[in-house]
Chains A and B, each alone.
Chain A
């Protein structure tokens, strides 16, 4: 024991305990650094690699032939072919997929931009790669398989006709985007040639209206107003009297087309899209309540999606705002602006008992011979309770069976929806035609948002197109 005591004294004298402590502290710091480095490489690096500000992605083009973009059924939407020793990017489906697929030049857009990194990586068979390297040839890049349903896309695209506007359709079971159309469109293969006219056009042709278009929601916003009302003490059986118009502080709100709805319950007022009832509802809500409900549905917030360039929908209503603005805001006019993707996401969440499965369009990456390289994780976010979702479902069902959405009603599947006619200028004849909703048949569920600019009443233009989408998908 004597020796032990001597050792101790010696240790104290020689500072060995302190030296060890210091060594271990530094070692711990470095191990944490190492662990973080590994964590970054495995989980975080992708966010950085895919960032458009990363100059490297373009550099891969020297070694790899850009991969293809495909619809869910394998239809080729974009491919690179070599003619006369020059690589050309072709878009076999052209304008139909212009915005969702995007273009590969002039700063890129759509999937061409978002998935650029993957298309310039190669997971081709190793031996192929060695042979290609020896021959000095490029390797084939990986292919991007999207969630787009080519039949639905074609129906949506041609259904829009000459109207400007957008269609978004989402598979409620996954969050996968089945169709995304924006009009007016452009020829993606000749963006460079037409760059000047495309960028200077009055119609903002290059803007993807489905994700970036900010429209007044019109009556489709009543989905939010009605939930806000019910959460703040309102009941479905509350009654309202509609005489066709309602005046407060010298401002008068009319029901659409001068209709008079008379005595009606809340459900009926929602189904009839009664502006008078909803103006009264808006005025009765506590301050800030409408904003809270709107933000609960991600208005003013970001939709959790890997699709880039999604505009945030906007809602503002200050406590000091006059009654006129409160009334307008409650019926979806005022300063509120939403994207079609926003409204489709809200419908998807309602269809999913309040949980939003984050919308995405790139399903997986495969190599040139079709072997899976990478499947992407899906995220989800709770937007409202299952009870609230079920209430909204019933209300939206009633719109289809007894209200402004009757044109969608059919016995072959169960449809839910809300129409909207959004005024955007003082010219009341020019209004945007909206339909948002979802439909179910067995396990198949689809949510849609359709907007036709200057299409007039939602029930007459947007709703029939939505129905044809439901018909196509749920056949």
Chain B
């Protein structure tokens, strides 16, 4: 009987999430009437509740543990409060972003409860704390002067935090990622990412001279080198991509993209020949089955899970996701694909795509250059992180071990991502704000000066 319920549930999960995903893209379309949009969003909300109810019922049937019942209720309450709060705080909040955040959190809750109940409970607590913290984001974002005055703090704190991890961090799976404080492990890189985005935005809003760009690149590359030294290659890649994107956007020079790609290629080749752990990962990526009991163990277990699950999944509790090392953090996507199905996993990829498209869309709508850069940076941060983790666990790119935002277990990751989402929502709210006159002046001045420089340079060469 339980088996039949599971069998039916694996279809209902897919249907619920497919409807949700459809709504998401239908609302994203340009010429959707406001009325229809509203209907789509409220349908999305119902799907989130349905998913939570369906998931928790199934979890309850499998465990017959009343704690799960209580947790299910708590999750529903949390999602409700989150939606109300975000609507209250961000007067012009984009419901799409909030909905997606809640949906992804819900998937994370259900999957984590299935994998490790204690961790799921902690995840819920982290989410509550993050929800409270993110209430203050609009206050902070509204104060441009304050954000800008902290420029030095961002970079110094960023470099220091990463350096501390590199020096005294705990080694997990060959990489130093966490600092252990008492019983809590903090993953500073998750927060430093956001600091970097703020730093770059501060640096390049008013001044895009070559010298300023150079300073920015050097300081950020210092962080990336520290990450590489800690063998946290996934985050090094995310930092690098975000830096590249922001430099390109701020300077509007495509040539920087080209340099960046060349630099990346050179670093990759150098890393391959200089470090054995890089080679190991590439070997495991090229032919994991040939090293199934050593370097390829993790990725093979992940692909066994994804493959065995098939398009429709095995159903919750019917697979063996626990065979995958660190399944509740870096490899949670594989567990989802195994038990909830490849179709569900595809929808998940689409929702992540929708998320970063919405972030870039918000960036497009913002008039203020400083805010725009921040929105762009956050969007790139999110997109490159999701790409790194999903690409890694599916063997599209070598696996580097980063978390799947909002779904993977981990307080730091969860809080940082909710912060990121809240900031994007906040920026959306401030999209109409024009730059202060003096700033505009500054910017215009720089712009004019630069154009003049270029022109005189051309003249000079022409004269010669």
Contact = CB atoms under 8 A, between A and B. Distances in A.
A47 B289 contact: yes
B396 A41 contact: no
Contact of A26 (B293, B300, B318, B383): B383
B25 interface: no
A22 B376 contact: yes
B306 interface: yes
Contacts of B361: 23
Contact of A51 (B304, B306, B318, B363): B304
B331 to A, nearest CB: 15
Nearest to A53: B292
A136 interface: yes
Interface string B370-402: 001100100110011011001100111000000
Given A37-B349, A56-B308, A133-B4, A22 B245 contact: yes
B1 A19 contact: no
A36 interface: yes
A134 B1 contact: yes
Contacts of B293: 53
A41 B252 CA distance: 40
Contacts of A51: 289, 292, 300, 304
B346 A40 contact: no
A376 interface: no
Interface string B305-323: 1111011000000111001
Interface stretch (B128-136, B155-163, B352-360): B352-360
A373 interface: no
Nearest to A139: B3
Contacts of B349: 30, 33-34, 37
B353 A49 contact: no
A412 interface: no
A431 B361 CA distance: 80
A407 interface: no
A23 B3 contact: no
Interface in A104-159: 130, 133-134, 136
Contacts of A6: none
B234 interface: no
B307 A48 contact: yes
B209 interface: no
B346 to A, nearest CB: 7
A33 B394 contact: yes
B289 A54 contact: no
B364 A136 contact: no
A134 B387 CA distance: 42
Contact of B367 (A14, A23, A57): A14
Nearest to B345: A37
B355 to A, nearest CB: 11
Contacts of B319: 56, 59
Nearest to A26: B383
Interface in A49-74: 49, 51, 53-57, 59, 63
A88 interface: no
Nearest to B3: A133
Interface in B153-192: none
A19 B300 contact: no
Nearest to A52: B292
A427 to B, nearest CB: 40
A14 B370 CA distance: 10
B114 interface: no
A47 B308 CA distance: 10
A30 B394 contact: no
B303 interface: yes
B310 A136 contact: no
A45 interface: yes
Interface string B226-261: 000000000000000000010011101010000000
Nearest to A15: B249
B193 interface: no
B7 interface: yes
B10 interface: no
A36 B394 contact: yes
Nearest to B314: A56
A45 B307 CA distance: 5
Given A33-B349, A33-B394, A56-B319, A19 B308 contact: no
A348 B274 CA distance: 48
B8 to A, nearest CB: 10
B3 A22 contact: no
A18 interface: yes
A18 B248 contact: yes
A53 B346 CA distance: 26
A372 interface: no
A157 to B, nearest CB: 34
B342 interface: yes
B4 A15 contact: no
Contacts of B367: 14
A385 to B, nearest CB: 31
A22 B249 contact: yes
B307 A46 contact: yes
B320 A40 contact: no
Contacts of A81: none
A48 B4 contact: no
A14 B318 CA distance: 51
| Most B-side CB within 10 Å, residue of A14, A26, A36 | A26
A36 B387 CA distance: 13
A139 B104 CA distance: 35
B311 A54 contact: no
Given A22-B360, A46-B307, A51-B304, A27 B252 contact: no
B320 A55 contact: yes
B252 A133 contact: no
A13 to B, nearest CB: 8
A14 B372 contact: yes
A15 B383 CA distance: 19
Contacts of B394: 33, 36-37, 40
Nearest to A41: B342
A45 B305 CA distance: 10
A113 to B, nearest CB: 15
A33 B361 CA distance: 22
A45 B311 CA distance: 11
Contacts of B308: 45, 48-49, 54, 56-57
Contact of B304 (A16, A21, A40, A55): A55
A81 B1 CA distance: 24
A48 B289 contact: yes
A33 B391 contact: yes
A17 B363 CA distance: 11
A84 interface: no
A34 B337 CA distance: 13
A20 interface: yes
A30 B308 CA distance: 23
A33 B396 contact: yes
A12 interface: yes
B345 A19 contact: no
Given A26-B356, A27-B357, A33-B390, A19 B363 contact: yes
A17 B353 CA distance: 19
Contact of B387 (A13, A30, A37): A30
Contacts of A47: 289
A46 B308 CA distance: 8
Contacts of A136: 1, 3
B357 A53 contact: no
A449 B310 CA distance: 40
15 contacts: A14-B369, A15-B372, A17-B252, A18-B376, A19-B363, A19-B364, A22-B379, A30-B383, A30-B386, A44-B307, A45-B307, A45-B308, A49-B304, A55-B323, A136-B3
Chain A to chain B: the 8 pairs with minimum beta-carbon distance, closest first: A45-B307, A23-B360, A54-B304, A18-B249, A133-B4, A48-B307, A26-B383, A56-B308
Interface of A: 12-23, 26-27, 29-30, 32-34, 36-38, 40-41, 44-49, 51, 53-57, 59, 63, 130, 133-134, 136
Given A22-B360, A30-B387, A134-B4, 7 more contacts: A14-B369, A19-B363, A34-B350, A48-B308, A51-B289, A54-B308, A136-B1
